Structure 1
Amino acid sequence: MHFIKNLEWRYAIKLFYPNKKVSETHLNLIKETIQLSASSYGLQLYKAFIIANPDIRAKLKSASWGPQQITDASLIIVFCSYTDVHRKHIDDFLTLKSNTQDIPLSELEGYGDFMEAKINEKSEQELKHWTAKQTYLAFGTPKPPSGFSCF
C-alpha cells in the first residue's frame, strides 16, 4: 500500500509561484532519487541537468514554444539520453560498481562483456530508442518529498 500512496501524489502543475524556491534539502533528495533510479544493467546512460540560471531558462523557454513554467519555476531539470554507447561507459560503470560494492574488477569482466555484446546487437536506431527508454525511467522515478509544494 505504501507504493500506491507514493504514486497518488501525481498531478499536473499548471502554475508555479516565481517567488518560491526549491530548497537545497529537497533538491538533494531529488538528485539522489534520480541517481538511484532503475536502469537496464545499471548503466544509467543519461544526464540530468539542473538549470536554475534564469537567462538559460529564458532561452529554453523560447526554444520550447514559450511555456511560462520554464521561467516561473525556480529551476528545471532537463533529462538527456546518450545517443552513442561505448565500452568506456561500461568500464566506468564497472569501476564504480567495483569500488562501491567492494567487488574485484576482475570478477565483473564477464558482466561487462555480456553488456557490450547485448548493446552491440542493437542497430543505431534501436540503441537510441533503448537509451531514451532508460532516460524515461529516471525521469519518472523522482517523487516530491512529503510537504513539498510546487505551486
Structure 2
Amino acid sequence: MGIRDAAYPGSFDPITFGHVNIVKRSIERFDNLYVVVVNNPNKKYLFSLQERIEMVKKDLEDIPNVIVESFDGLLVNYLKEKKIYNLIRGLRAVSDYEYELQMANANHMLFPQLEIFFLMADTDFSYISSSMIKEIASYNGDVSKWVSKFVELKLKEKLLKK
C-alpha cells in the first residue's frame, strides 16, 4: 500500500465490461489497484457479497496488480486503514457526475489527503448499468455484450431458476 496505489469501490452487482474497462485503464496509472466490493446494508443486492467477490475475482484474474477485497462501512475508513490516497470513480453520464460530486466532496472533507479520479466510461459502455443488465437477463435476454460468460451464467442461475 502506498501513494501509488488506488482503490476502485463498487457494489459490482454484477461486474460488467464497463467496470473491467475502468480497472484496466486505472491499473495503467497506479502500481496496485484495490477493487473494493462494498456491502451497503441499505441497498438490496441480487447477489450475495461472496458471489459478487467471486465474480469480480474471476473477471479480473488476468489483470496484474489488482487486489479484490470487500469492506463494510465508511469507505474513507478503509482507505485510511490501507493508506490508500487515490480513489477511482467511473462516470457514465451527467447524472452520475452529480451524485459522484456530492460523494467526492464528503469523502474529501473526511479524508483531506484523498485524491479522487473520475474516469469517463468508454463510449462502448457508457450506457450500460448493472441494473439494466439484470433486467435484460431476467427476461432471458442476451447480455453477452456487457458481461463475461461466467457472470452471464451466474445471472441465468440466479434469475431463471425454476
Q: Normalising to structure 2: TM-score of the pair?
A: 0.26
Q: Which structure: greater strand fraction?
A: 2
Structure number with larger C-alpha Rg: 1
Q: Which structure: greater helix fraction?
A: 1
Q: Normalising to structure 1: TM-score of the pair?
A: 0.28
